[in-house]
């Protein structure tokens, strides 16, 4: 009997909690629905402000816009700086809840990757958002939409940072707004942090953390950045790869030469660069550089188990992306993302195609992206690439060559590297991480997908190193968002659902 009552009370207890969570979610959803127009309009205005990290002229307008959004929502805000002057500030805000025993931090970044407007599709510009009916690959076309007309949740909003990561800022601030304006009582303190240099490798986030260590203390920092699975399923992600960029410039003659007048004699820097790059990987995408994989810490049993539990997306990806022969020699997608990578972000020498001329170019440039995993170190990883380049008889310089260097060295290469940062991984069994999982789970009807480490990068190691904080990522936008490239876009449905997800996290057990 007693047992029976206990059992009943357990049911009631669960139901009562579930009902209550459900009711809050309904309220949030109702709020979003009622305010959809103004939420989307505000977001479009936000996306209209150019936010390329290096565009210091326009960055302050983003900062001002965010602080205004926070003020409208009753969140006191300030700009956080490190030691270095003249760099993009982070925007910080804090809500103290009387009697709160815990603090939840929410992070997103407002800066975007560089843009080349010429590469965007017709009618689309990086900082003039429009609605499109679907991704361009699926025949999406621009919608002639006037404010106030209904918005189809299947549509996407285009623009640089629409997905990565002004979406994060938008969802966090609207989640808070939805809770407060729906009369829901918060039980934890909430901290807001919006970074402005993520897309250039967060070169001053360490300084910002060091200068504001006490202010930024939290029991957990939730990173609202990145995309759901290709299936559309929600994720919780426990780690990120590290990242560092290298820029390589190989030199030919001092000036472009007529390919007839000098062809066979003048060295072609494009040919020399392609030969150098070609040797870095085998035909299946495995990096051939000496020691490249040596210091990788393998996945632990729990992480391997998590990966094994995830349905295989390879067939979907292959079809969706039009790829018949992926790299990786048959290793699974998620396992490949747990390895360091070497990617050619771009290569350019003179012009190819319609603008090509019959010349021997004077220089050839490539930008590499190295992703790092636990065990790797930025400086060691970069050095491995440099050692390889030197083994190919290149003399490495950090400037355009002088006449003396040109006469002294047969092969010259300029290498510049950004600061970069290492990988980070949070143990999946951490109690507060489990709370985050349950919060996200409460908003969906299928099992939330748990990823030991995303393939992407964020400077999350700094949260551990400088704030002694735990950190977990909750990526919320569509995976086919053209993040970092032309025609970036975010699906309206996910943007609005993301508000509910963040709200659930703000209320987590």
- Which residues ranging from 439 to 458 are in contact with a second copy (CB under 8 A)? 454-457
| DSSP notation for 352-405 | -GGG--SEE-SEEEEEEEEEE-BTB-HHHHHHHHHHHHHHTTPEEESSSPPHHH
Per residue, what are the HEC states of 400-467? Answer: CCCHHHHHHCCCEEEEEECCCECCEECCCCCHHHHHHHHHHHCCCCCCCEEECCCCCECCCHHHHHHH
**Residue 316 binding a second copy, by CB under 8 A:** no
Q: Which is nearer to a second copy, 79 or 367 (CB)?
A: 367
**Binding residue for a second copy (CB under 8 A) from 100, 336, 396, 430?**
336
99-107, 174-182, 299-307, 312-320 -> range binding a second copy (CB under 8 A): 312-320
Measuring CA to CA, which residue among 295, 340, 346, 321 is closest to residue 484? 346
Q: How many CB atoms lie within 10 A of CB 171?
A: 29
Question: Is the Cβ–Cβ distance between 374 and 425 less than 8 Å?
Answer: yes
26-34, 41-49, 479-487, 499-507 -> range binding a second copy (CB under 8 A): 479-487
Alpha carbons 289 and 283: distance in angstroms, whole number: 14
DSSP structural state of residue 281: B
Q: Which is nearer to a second copy, 216 or 373 (CB)?
A: 373
Alpha carbons 362 and 493: distance in angstroms, whole number: 49
Q: By CB under 8 A, how many residues form the interface with a second copy?
A: 109
DSSP structural state of residue 289: S
Tokens standing for 467? Answer: 């704030």
**Binding residue for a second copy (CB under 8 A) from 100, 350, 430, 444?**
350
**Binding residue for a second copy (CB under 8 A) from 89, 140, 401, 420?**
401
81-89, 113-121, 380-388, 439-447 -> range binding a second copy (CB under 8 A): 113-121
CA quadruple 267, 268, 269, 274: dihedral sign: negative
88-96, 182-190, 443-451, 475-483 -> range binding a second copy (CB under 8 A): 475-483
Q: How many CB atoms lie within 10 A of CB 443?
A: 21
**Binding residue for a second copy (CB under 8 A) from 62, 67, 113, 417?**
113
Q: Which of residues 9-48 bind a second copy (CB under 8 A)?
A: none
Tokens standing for 394? Answer: 């290149």
**Residue 143 binding a second copy, by CB under 8 A:** no
Q: Which is nearer to a second copy, 197 or 480 (CB)?
A: 480
Q: Which of residues 402-421 bind a second copy (CB under 8 A)?
A: 403, 406-411
From residue 370 to residue 389, the character string flagging contacts with a second copy as x (rule: CB under 8 A) and all else as - is -x------------------
From residue 257 to residue 296, the character string flagging contacts with a second copy as x (rule: CB under 8 A) and all else as - is xxxxxxxxxxxx-xx-xxx-xxxxx-x-x-----------
Q: Which is nearer to a second copy, 42 or 197 (CB)?
A: 197
Tokens standing for 169? Answer: 């800022």
37-45, 81-89, 141-149, 398-406 -> range binding a second copy (CB under 8 A): 398-406
Taking the CA atoms of the chain, what radius of gyration do you get in angstroms?
25
From residue 227 to residue 246, the character string flagging contacts with a second copy as x (rule: CB under 8 A) and all else as - is x------------xx-x-x-
Q: Which of residues 45-104 bind a second copy (CB under 8 A)?
A: 54
């Amino acid at each position: 009997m007693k047992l029976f009552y206990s059992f009943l009370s357990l049911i009631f207890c669960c139901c009562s909690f579930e009902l209550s969570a459900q009711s809050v979610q309904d309220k949030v959803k109702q709020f979003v629905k009622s305010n959809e127009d103004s939420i989307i309009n505000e977001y479009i205005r936000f996306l209209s402000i150019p936010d390329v990290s290096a565009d210091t002229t326009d960055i302050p307008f983003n900062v001002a816009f965010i602080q205004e959004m926070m003020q409208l929502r009753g969140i006191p805000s300030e700009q956080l700086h490190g030691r270095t002057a003249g760099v993009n500030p982070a925007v910080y805000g804090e809500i103290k809840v009387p009697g709160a025993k815990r603090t939840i931090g929410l992070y997103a970044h407002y800066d975007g990757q560089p843009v080349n407007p010429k590469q965007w599709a017709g009618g689309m510009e990086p900082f003039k958002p429009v609605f499109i009916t679907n991704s361009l690959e699926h025949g999406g076309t621009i919608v002639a939409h006037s404010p106030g007309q209904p918005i189809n949740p299947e549509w996407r909003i285009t623009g640089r940072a629409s997905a990565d990561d002004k979406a994060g800022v938008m969802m966090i601030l609207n989640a808070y707004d939805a809770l407060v304006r729906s009369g829901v009582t918060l039980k934890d303190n909430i901290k807001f942090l919006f970074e402005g240099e993520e897309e250039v490798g967060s070169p001053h986030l360490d300084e910002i953390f060091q200068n504001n260590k006490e202010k930024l203390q939290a029991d957990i920092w939730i990173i609202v950045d990145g995309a759901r699975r290709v299936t559309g399923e929600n994720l919780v992600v426990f780690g990120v790869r590290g990242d560092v960029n290298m820029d390589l410039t190989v030199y030919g003659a001092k000036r472009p030469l007529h390919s007839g007048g000098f062809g066979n004699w003048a060295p072609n820097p494009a040919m020399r660069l392609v030969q150098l790059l070609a040797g870095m990987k085998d035909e299946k995408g495995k990096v051939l550089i000496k020691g490249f994989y040596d210091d990788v810490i393998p996945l632990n049993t729990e992480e391997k188990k998590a990966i094994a539990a995830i349905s295989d997306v390879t067939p979907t990806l292959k079809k969706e992306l039009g790829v018949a022969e992926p790299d990786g020699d048959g290793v699974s997608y998620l396992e490949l993302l747990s390895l360091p990578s070497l990617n050619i972000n771009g290569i350019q020498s003179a012009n190819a195609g319609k603008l090509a001329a019959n010349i021997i170019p004077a220089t050839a440039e490539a930008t590499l992206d190295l992703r790092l995993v636990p065990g790797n170190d930025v400086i060691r990883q970069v050095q491995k690439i440099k050692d390889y380049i030197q083994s190919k008889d290149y003399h490495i310089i950090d400037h355009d060559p002088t006449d003396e260097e040109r006469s002294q060295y047969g092969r010259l290469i300029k290498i510049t590297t950004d600061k970069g940062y290492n990988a980070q991984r949070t143990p999946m069994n951490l109690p507060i991480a489990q709370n985050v999982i349950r919060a996200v789970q409460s908003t969906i009807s299928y099992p939330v997908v748990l990823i030991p480490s995303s393939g992407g990068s964020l400077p999350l190691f700094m949260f551990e190193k400088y704030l002694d904080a735990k950190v977990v990522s909750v990526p919320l936008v569509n995976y086919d968002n053209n993040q970092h490239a032309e025609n970036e876009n975010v699906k309206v449905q996910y943007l609005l659902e993301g508000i509910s997800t963040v709200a659930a996290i703000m209320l987590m057990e």
